[in-house]
Amino acid sequence: MTQTMASSSTQEVAAELLRRPAFVMVSHVKPDGDTLGAGLALGIALKRLGKRVHYFQQDPVPRNLRFLPDTEFVTRDIPGDLPPDTLYVFCDMSDFSRAGEFLPKVERENMLDIDHHLGNSHFGKFNFVLDTECSTGTVVMHLFRELKIEIDRDLATCILTTIMTDTGGFMHSNTTPAVLELSAELMRIGADKEQITEEIFANRRVAATRLLGSVIDAMVFGHEGRYCYSYVDDPMLARTDADGEDTEDVVNTLRGQEGVEVAALFKAIEGEIRVSLRSNGRVNVQAAAATLGGGGHFRASGLTFHGTLADAFVAVDAALTAQGL
């Protein structure tokens, strides 16, 4: 068992960023606008400070995030000639295993963990974890203020994307007055809210809508209507001409049904079962996911299940029941 490191102060992390010559920004598997937007924002700012920056992401950049600046440089390769004191910056993940198995081994000494998840494992030498922030992008803003980085249009676009992703377009309960004030400021600087809305929320592929139809057909209700779950599998994707990226938003539709307090979407895709959980705020789905090796936030969490889909239904129901569903 490795020892949990303490939290790092804003000043300490800022000083470390200035001290290091080179960086690899690391985002999590099945990337979203927060992990990628936060890493791109910090990477772009570091380049402006004269640093060498690479972006590592195991999965390709999702179609709906390709509008973000610098995404053309995101790869699953790590250059062979990086200096030994290169700092690997993990954005938006409660553990480094969320970066995927393609990331080569990194010494803890060279890990910076920037995050806002509950129960972050403090896996880095430096851990800048603010779990009251709405997104990892707004955690990065603390570093920008400390380093007196001038926020331009590109940085504003990345940060507003992290906010809109993790607040569900300003709908979730993490949308505080401060979040709205910061968002207004980012829009004034030139972040295009219209474009972000269009790319991330409005511009739905027809295949995704067909897939949603199949998921809705397969909905099951339990716990006197307080629980709704459904699934996606490979045949369903093939039938609707959809792919894994088209499943991202689907669980929110299940959660949005009248009377539903908790929703689960089971994604049995390419030999893996990933489960997305959402809560209306009464049941802690982060705690439920954690008992099955996953994590996340009070109202939004996820896990990977090892076993059959039928076993996954039973295990997740039991984990949610234990949390008071």
Binding ligand AMP by CB under 6 A: which of 261, 297, 316, 323?
A: 297
The helix-helix angle for 136-147 and 177-189 (nearest 10°) equals 60
Nearer to ligand AMP, 41 or 151 (CB): 41
d(CA 280, CA 251) in angstroms, rounded, equals 12
Which span sits near ligand AMP by CB under 6 A: 3-11, 17-25, 188-196, 289-297?
289-297
92 binds Mn ion (CB under 5 A): yes
CA dist 295 and 285 (Å) reads 8
Of 20 and 199, the one with the shorter C-beta distance to Mn ion is 199
Applying CB under 6 A, the span of 57-65, 157-165, 183-191, 295-303 interacting with ligand AMP comes to: 295-303
Cβ–Cβ contacts within 10 Å for residue 240, how many? Answer: 20
Q: Which stretch binds ligand AMP (CB under 6 A): 143-151, 190-198, 228-236, 299-307?
A: 299-307
Among positions 18-37, residues that touch Mn ion (CB under 5 A) are 32, 34-35
Nearer to ligand AMP among residue 20 and residue 117 (C-beta): 117
The arrangement of strands across the sheet holding 126-129 comes to 74-75, 52-56, 22-26, 87-91, 111-115, 126-129
Burial label for 27, CB within 10 Å (0-12, 13-18, 19+), is: buried
Q: What are phi and psi of 125, to 5 degrees?
A: -70, -35
Contacting Mn ion within 99-138 (CB under 5 A): 136
94 binds ligand AMP (CB under 6 A): yes
Could you say whether residue 276 binds ligand AMP (CB under 6 A)?
Answer: yes
Q: Which is nearer to ligand AMP, 86 or 135 (CB)?
A: 135
Q: Which of residues 303-322 bind ligand AMP (CB under 6 A)?
A: 303-304
* Cβ nearer to Mn ion, comparing 32 with 246: 32
31 binds, among Mn ion, ligand AMP, none (CB under 5 to 8 A by kind): none
- Run of H or E residues at 55: strand 52-56
Return the residue nearest ligand AMP (CB atom). Answer: 302
Q: Which one, of 124, 200, 113, 212, lies nearest residue 162 by Cα?
A: 200
Task: Please identify, among the stretches 1-9, 58-66, 162-170, 312-320, the one whose residues bind Mn ion according to the rule CB under 5 A.
Answer: 162-170
What does the alpha-carbon distance between residue 154 and residue 162 come to, in Å, rounded to a whole number?
13
Residues 29-88 that bind Mn ion (CB under 5 A): 32, 34-35
Under rule CB under 6 A, residue 295 binds ligand AMP: yes
Q: Which of 137, 294, 319, 325 binds ligand AMP (CB under 6 A)?
A: 294
Residue 150 burial class via C-beta count within 10 angstroms: exposed 0-12, middle 13-18, buried 19 and up: exposed
C-alpha 3/C-alpha 121 separation (Å) is: 10
Provide Rg for the chain, Cα atoms.
Answer: 19
The interface partner of residue 302, options being Mn ion, ligand AMP, none and the CB cut-off 5 to 8 Å by kind, is ligand AMP
Residue 296 binds to ligand AMP (criterion: CB under 6 A): yes
Nearer to ligand AMP, 111 or 277 (CB): 277
CB of 305 to ligand AMP, least distance (A): 9
* Number of CB atoms found within 10 A of residue 80's CB: 5
Nearby residues of 60 by Cβ (< 8 Å), 6 or more positions away: none
Measured between alpha carbons, how far is residue 256 from residues 140, 227, 229, 253 in Å? 31, 11, 12, 5
Interface residues toward Mn ion, by CB under 5 A: 32, 34-35, 92, 136, 166
Interface residues toward ligand AMP, by CB under 6 A: 94, 117, 276, 294-297, 300-304
